[in-house]
Amino acid sequence: MNRLDGKYVLITGGSQGLGRQLAINFVKEGSARICIVARRQDFLDEVHNRLLEINPKIKVIPIAADLSRQEDIERVVAITLHQFDGRLDVLVNNASTIGPSPMPYLLDYPLEDFRYVINTNLIAPFLLIKKLLPAMIENSGSIINITSDVGASGYPGWGAYGISKFGIEGMSQTWAAELQGSGVRVNYVDPGNMNTAMHRSAEPDEDPRQWTDPSEVTEVFAYLASDESKNVNGKRFRAQGGNNHKDNSSYVERPVLASEV
């Protein structure tokens, strides 16, 4: 506990599922200020109240925004920098959309839906990192991107969502390589199957009780957000699978960074 003492954190998709759970855990770990972003205000309000129950002194900034829209991203950045006095310690690019459900094959995938998924899941993290990076340099901030097993192997039907996660993995490696030595680190985590609204919508015929509760996967995120991981950059983690970050076998190997050769 208190591994995130005083840290200023922004979590996209912080209103439900994994993002909500990370917000709760990060406040329990001592975060001093936390921005949560999602489209629906009522879900944000619920998390806001929950965080105040945990720590009445915490500064919570709920921002209703659609991250598929560039103007909303600009607003999120402006509000965050204003409320955080120009400083950000941890950015968690967690918000994602699965796209149409049931998930169509690529041959039938509507272009507008494809664009919406890529804008939300890939372009938004790119822009948030780019625009918030200056606020993260001074305190050697931590960027955590969220991937999935469908970002490492192509599966039929996972369409734009899977392709966006392939993009997140490549983008995380590229940012990490370009930021090597800057103090800011970029790592990415596959949380594994979780019982959340997204997963229930992606696989409506499956029994969601077989999937893990998001509260079971938070440990690696607290590690990556904390100073314990300050020298860890460009690594892919799995939050589930019988191992944890303290066991090197949990790492899925990534290509060696160009700057390390």
Ligand X SMILES: NC(=O)c1ccc[n+]([C@@H]2O[C@H](COP(=O)([O-])OP(=O)(O)OC[C@H]3O[C@@H](n4cnc5c(N)ncnc54)[C@H](OP(=O)(O)O)[C@@H]3O)[C@@H](O)[C@H]2O)c1
Query: What's the rounded Cα separation, in Å, for the pair 43 and 238?
Result: 27
CA gap 155, 164 in Å, rounded: 13
Binding to ligand X (CB under 6 A) within 184-203 occurs at 191, 193-194, 196-199
Of these residues, 109, 116, 161, 188, which one is catalytic? 161
Using the minimum distance from each CB to ligand X, give the nearer residue, 54 or 197: 197
The answer to whether the beta carbons of residues 24 and 46 sit under 8 Å apart is: no
In degrees, rounded to 5, the angle at the alpha carbon of residue 198 between the alpha carbons of residues 4 and 196 is: 60
Task: Name the CA radius of gyration of the chain, rounded.
Answer: 17
Token readout for 60 is 């919570």
* Lookup: tokens for 24: 């709760």
Residues in the chain, how many?
A: 261
CB of 55 to ligand X, least distance (A): 21
In the range 86-125, which residues lie near ligand X by CB under 6 A? 94-97, 120
Minimum distance, C-beta of residue 246 to ligand X, in the bound complex (Å): 22
Query: Of 194 and 220, which has the nearer Cβ to ligand X?
Result: 194
Q: Which of 67, 123, 217, 225 binds ligand X (CB under 6 A)?
A: 67
Angle subtended at Cα 168 by Cα 110 and Cα 66, rounded to the nearest 5 degrees: 60
Of residues 223-252, those binding ligand X (CB under 6 A)? none
Taking CB under 6 A as the rule, which mask of x and - marks residues 22-61 in contact with ligand X? ---------------xxxx--x------------------
Q: Choose between 180 and 193: whose C-beta lies nearer to ligand X.
A: 193
Q: Is 116 a catalytic residue?
A: no
CB of 43 to ligand X, least distance (A): 5
Q: Which is nearer to ligand X, 210 or 249 (CB)?
A: 210
Residues 6+ apart with CB under 8 A from 29: 1, 2, 3, 4, 5, 222, 225, 226
Q: Kindly report the number of other CB atoms within 10 A of residue 74's CB atom.
A: 13
**How many residues sit close enough to ligand X to count as binding (CB under 6 A)?**
30
Least distance in Å: CB of 14 to ligand X?
A: 6
Least distance from C-beta 197 to ligand X, angstroms?
4
Q: How far apart are CA 37 and CA 12, in angstroms?
A: 5
List residues binding ligand X (CB under 6 A).
Answer: 13, 15-19, 37-40, 43, 65-68, 94-97, 120, 146, 148, 191, 193-194, 196-199, 211
Instruction: List residues with catalytic annotation.
Output: 161
